[in-house]
Amino acid sequence: MSALAEKWDLDRQRYFWMYGESGSSERVVFDETTGIWNVYGHAEALHVANSPHIFSSDTGRLIPERREFDEGSITQLDPPRHTALRKLITHAFTPRAIDELEPRVHAIVQDLLDRVTDRAGFDLIADFAYPLPVTVIAELLGIPASDHDLLNGWVDRMMSTTTEFSLGERDVSVDNAVADAMEQVRHITDYLREHVKDRRSHPREDLLTALVQAEVDGQRLTENEVANFANVMLVAGHVTTTLLISNTVLCLDAHPEADRAVRQDRTAVPTLLEESLRYLTPIACMVRVTTAATDVGGVTIGPDQMVAVWLSTANRDKRVFSDPYTFDPARELNPHIAFGRGVHFCIGAALARREGRIAMNALFDRFPALRCDPDNPPAFMTNPNLNGVTRLPVVG
């Protein structure tokens, strides 16, 4: 069992993978209730991620409600279109580009911490872990800081569902949850579309302008494609980093001996972050759709089947990780797949790691005894596809 799960008495069904109930004996399992194939093993997850010709990202084939948001969304595209669109933004995430961003990240971190250092306590999410990455990605895109709270409201509501998606018989609650999530996505894309229109006549030095002016196969992207592309960058560009920072603090709070060790040896911060990504993986699962009958881990899956790859369980596969339920910031062999693998490996992974490193070192510097507020417990996320908290009161 996970010490973190035990400390906060997390729901065994919601956080099944924290309790060793991750399908360890059966690494590929069909859920008759949802009509979805669940992949739990590490090797099996890699097979799916590295085979986009068989496991398509075009989930809109089976989820028609989201079709309008798939155009230009690189998370829903397969090669070669995915490859062509991804190349449009790679320059923003090169090692050199991230090095150039680092002073700005430091400045944002220090400004945010200046606002809370003299308080008895604060909410790590609202006051630090959310505004840091959303400010960075919004500035890259060219979105005004004054709109961050507006965007946060839409993203929070989009991700607040407690309903597990199903391809089987759906009741009213599932339909309502899907409809509400899509409404929030529509708010964000409508908002971004207005900025796209503005960039066509008033170009700037930002990623939105670069997308508006880019050509793929001799054609400019449509307004809808740019808006959907930017939506993915905005949401994915801050949610994972927000959770990385807050989950790391959660893990250290549940393992005070690890907290002491890393504070004494800051060279361990990078491996601390990798272990946090493995132990409390921000994105719980990724979803694919089969294009043909195929074999995964000795199990045959037919065509047009939805496959949910559980990154959380793959990152605790005892075939790959020694003592997988132990939180070990000094873990040397840690081939986790928290950022995915293959053609859809998170393009912002290096930026997220850099932000996480700067953030954790700054928190260690400012707060010698940072811990969760014992009188004000964290609020864990209800979305089954995300791992983390929406509120994290801390004292230091």
CATH number at residue 129: 1.10.630.10
pLDDT of residue 156: 78
- Helix or strand (DSSP H, E) at 156: helix 148-158
Structural domain boundaries enclosing 301: 3-395
Output the pLDDT for position 73.
Answer: 81
User: In this predicted structure, what is the pLDDT of residue 23?
Assistant: 46
pLDDT at 384: 87
Q: What is the pLDDT of residue 174?
A: 66
pLDDT along the chain (396 residues), means of 10: 87 87 73 93 97 94 68 86 92 94 98 95 96 94 86 78 60 71 85 93 94 90 91 89 97 97 97 98 96 96 96 95 94 95 95 98 96 96 91 95
Q: What pLDDT sits at residue 379?
A: 95
Tell me which amino acid residue 361 is: N
Residue 56 CB contacts under 8 Å (≥ 6 apart), including other chains:
78, 288, 289, 290, 291
Beta bridge partners of 39: 28, 309
Q: What pLDDT is attached to residue 162?
A: 58
Using CA atoms, how far apart are residues 64 and 335, in angstroms rounded to an integer? Answer: 35
Measured over the CA atoms of residue 86, residue 91, residue 92 and residue 94, the dihedral's sign is positive
Q: What is the dihedral of CA 292, 181, 345, 2, to 10 degrees?
A: -100
How many domains does the structure of the chain reveal? 1
